[in-house]
Amino acid sequence: MPAPAQVAAAERMRYPVARQYWAVLRAVGAVRLDGGLHVQGGQGRFAACAGSAGSKEKYAIVALVAADDPRAQTARFLAAVAAVERDLTHAGWGAFSRDAADRQYLTATRGAISLSLFDVASAFDTVPPPTTVQLIVSGPCVNLGILAPYLHEVDAVAPTPAPLPPLKVG
């Protein structure tokens, strides 16, 4: 069983990710193109890092961005998502670029935190066109050692700053 200090270290990894997640949600909520956007869900969990063969984990919060008006035209939805990307870049996130680990996502970074958005523009030709965009805010990959096998609970993350649920180890 992991030591209390290891659990506390993993617990502390979640808050920088959550703070950036809440900042991203404020940017999403500020977009008013075509009636605006909203975020659905918000689930945080530790996940294995790509290419680490399970030796490193990161804390990630995943949510969906959708148009406030479900009848919104696809082109307007794309424009609203592009406005979010632009606003986040102006707010200190790096430029969004194709993610080398998963080519379906555009990713920007701010310090050690990454923000990935599903590249909805590349899916424009699908039938029916997408009505949501997956948003992922994740922390750095770290070696959690003995703790990693115990961290598979999913946290419900509130859409506004609030204490995260206690880290469940088991």
Q: Is residue 124 part of a domain?
A: yes
CA distance 145 to 64: 31
Q: What is the rounded average pLDDT of the residues 126-133? A: 76
Comparing 80-84, 90-94, 97-101, which segment has the lowest mean pLDDT? 97-101
Among 164, 58, 56, smallest CA distance to 113 is for 58
Would 140 be classed as within a structural domain? yes
Is residue 58 within 8 Å of 46, Cβ to Cβ? yes
Length of the chain: 170
Read off the pTM: 0.88
Strand partners, 135: 63, 117
Q: How many domains does the chain have?
A: 1
Residues 38 and 103: beta-carbon distance below 8 Å:
no
- Residue 31 falls inside a structural domain: yes
Domain containing residue 100: 4-156
Q: Please report whether residue 126 resides in a domain.
A: yes
| 61 has pLDDT over 70 | yes
Residue at 99 is within a domain: yes
Supply the pLDDT for residue 148: 75
pLDDT reading at 127 higher than 80: no
Is residue 169 included in any domain, yes or no?
Answer: no
**In terms of Cα–Cα distance, which of 22, 113, 121, 123 is closest to 63?**
22
**Considering the domain boundaries, does residue 33 fall inside one?**
yes
Query: E strand or H helix at 26, and its extent?
Result: helix 4-30
50 or 22: which carries more pLDDT confidence?
A: 22
* Residue 151 belongs to some domain of the structure: yes
